[in-house]
Amino acid sequence: MPGSFVYPPRVDLAHTPTPLEPTARLSAKLGVDLWVKRDDLTGCALTGNKVRKLEFLFAEALGGGANVVVTCGGEQSNHCRATALAAARLGLRCVLLLRRVDPTHRPLVEANILLDCLAGAEIRWVSYAEYRHRQELMAALAEELRQRGEVPYLIPEGGSNARGAFGYVRAVEELASQMGPQLCSWPGGEKVTLVYAAGSGGTGAGLQLGVRLFGLPIRPVGFCVCDDRDYFVRTISTICEQACAEFALPVRVPPEEIEIVDGYVGRGYALSHPDELALLRDVARSSGLVLDPVYTGKAFFGLCSELRRNPEQFGKRIIFLHSGGIFGLFPKASEIAPLL
């Protein structure tokens, strides 16, 4: 590893290391050697990629004496659900700003919202227009909590900042010990492509930093599930720059080296095409692997589509980062049922 660095403080929340598994049937169908990094197995209710970031963010919250955490996301946010449950586990209060088209009309208490409520989170509903100003809203909420005598800690959307990115630096360190000769040695020194769903940028930033810090022959490629390529290149680049500056990391991530594939957002964030949902069904039936419709389903749909278009573009060996999100399936039950 070039130079050295020390991880920031971390609390133990996730069940790691998560498995790295081959997928014989999917590999045969796609014409590549496909492996899956099972970050859907980081826990039960705390499942998914968000908990890796939260390990570092909650350590800072506890170190600063916080008694309440505040974060934000969509109404079925995996990040907010993980934050609420982690807070309960650590004895902190949690306040969530959740966006909804009509915040005066409360949604069904199901899936991630049900888990938010079970964990005792206080939910503040905001409109999409209000959510565009989420930083200001969270700052105002933090001040409100301070006026009550509480000590708040603000967690950004998706846990995506310089500190949270260390969750996926650490995940890359796991890969370094798991890949071994079978995945690291192939003709021509071709890199393995690591495919992930790009939703708020923190996972992608951690992967970019990690492959450089540990010198792995890995090529991270993100598939947008919201926004577009330019947004994610900017966001990931910014998080990487901040992490390198704040924690004196001996690497650099040039924006031109950040690979993002656009064009598979579909109907929009958390909205699905029948073809995307049909792929979830087909993957589950052929491999037992359960993807979600918001993140991993869109990324895997994009990967399959790109491989049909150009089978050589990602090389012969691919690792798909399964970042969890299973609870996002349940609000889609009525859309999925006709496909079963």
Residue 297, in any domain of the structure: yes
Q: Are 264 and 169 within one domain?
A: yes
pLDDT at residue 176, rounded to an integer: 87
Residue 10, in any domain of the structure: no
Q: Are 132 and 178 within one domain?
A: no
Q: Are 277 and 205 within one domain?
A: yes
Q: Are 131 and 268 within one domain?
A: no
Q: Are 295 and 269 within one domain?
A: yes
- Decide: 92 and 122 in contact? Cβ < 8 Å: no
Which is the catalytic residue, given 4, 77, 127, 185? 77
Please write the tens of the pLDDT for every residue from 67-84.
999 999 999 999 999 999
Residue 283, in any domain of the structure: yes
**Rounded-to-integer distance, Cα 240 and Cα 246, Å:** 10
List of residues 6+ apart from 230 with CB closer than 8 A: none
Whether the per-residue pLDDT at 275 is higher than 90: the answer is: yes
Q: Are 36 and 182 within one domain?
A: yes
- Decide: 65 and 39 in contact? Cβ < 8 Å: no
Please write the tens of the pLDDT for every residue from 22-74.
999 999 999 999 999 999 999 999 999 999 999 999 999 999 999 999 999 99
The stretch 308-334 carries a mean pLDDT of: 96
Q: Are 84 and 206 within one domain?
A: no
Q: Which of 144, 159, 174 is the last residue of a domain?
A: 159
Q: Are 29 and 61 within one domain?
A: no
pLDDT at residue 2, rounded to an integer: 45
pLDDT at residue 188, rounded to an integer: 58
Tokens standing for 70? 């505040």
Whether the per-residue pLDDT at 1 is higher than 50: the answer is: no
Please write the tens of the pLDDT for every residue from 98-115.
999 999 998 999 999 999
Give the bridge partners for 260, in sequence order: 222
- Decide: 244 and 169 in contact? Cβ < 8 Å: no
Q: How do strand 317-322 and strand 192-198 relate by DSSP bridges?
A: parallel
Q: Are 169 and 123 within one domain?
A: no
Please write the tens of the pLDDT for every residue from 169-195.
999 999 988 987 666 655 556 889 999
Cβ-count burial 97-122 (b if 16+ within 10 Å, e if not): bbbbeebeeebeeebbbebbeebebe
pLDDT at residue 331, rounded to an integer: 96
Q: Are 111 and 72 within one domain?
A: yes
CA atoms 126, 226, 80, 132: torsion sign: negative
Is 185 a residue of the active site?
Answer: no
pLDDT at residue 218, rounded to an integer: 93
Residue 225, in any domain of the structure: yes
Place of tokens 């133990």: 12
Neighbours of 149 (CB within 10 A): 7
- 26: domain CATH number is 3.40.50.1100
Q: Which of 104, 126, 159 is the last residue of a domain?
A: 159
pLDDT at residue 4, rounded to an integer: 65
Residue 86, in any domain of the structure: yes
pLDDT at residue 252, rounded to an integer: 96
Place of tokens 């990094």: 37
Residue 231, in any domain of the structure: yes
pLDDT at residue 27, rounded to an integer: 97
Residue 288, in any domain of the structure: yes
- Decide: 38 and 49 in contact? Cβ < 8 Å: no
Tokens standing for 10? 């971390």
Mean pLDDT of the chain, nearest integer: 95
What's the per-residue H, E or C state across the chain? CCCCCCCCCCCCCCCCCCCEEECHHHHHHHCCEEEEEEHHHCCCCCCCCHHHHHHHHHHHHHHCCCCEEEEEEECCCHHHHHHHHHHHHHCCEEEEEEECCCCCCCCCCCHHHHHHHHCCCEEEEECHHHHCCHHHHHHHHHHHHHHCCCCEEECCHHHCCCCCCHHHHHHHHHHHHHHHHHHHCCHHHCCEEEEEEECCCHHHHHHHHHHHHCCCCEEEEEEECCCCHHHHHHHHHHHHHHHHHHHCCCCCCCHHHCEEECCCCCCCCCCCCHHHHHHHHHHHHHHCCCCCCCCHHHHHHHHHHHHHHCCCCCCCEEEEEECCCHHHHHHHHHHHHHHC
- Decide: 328 and 76 in contact? Cβ < 8 Å: yes
Q: What pTM was estimated for this model as a whole?
A: 0.96
pLDDT at residue 179, rounded to an integer: 85
How many domains is the chain partitioned into structurally? 2
Q: Which of 127, 159, 191 is the last residue of a domain?
A: 159
Residue 13, in any domain of the structure: no
Whether the per-residue pLDDT at 3 is higher than 60: the answer is: no
Q: Are 123 and 84 within one domain?
A: yes
Q: Are 228 and 312 within one domain?
A: yes
Range of the domain at 243: 20-48+161-339
Tokens standing for 6? 């020390």
Please write the tens of the pLDDT for every residue from 109-137.
999 999 999 999 999 999 999 999 999 99
pLDDT at residue 5, rounded to an integer: 74
Whether the per-residue pLDDT at 228 is higher than 70: the answer is: yes
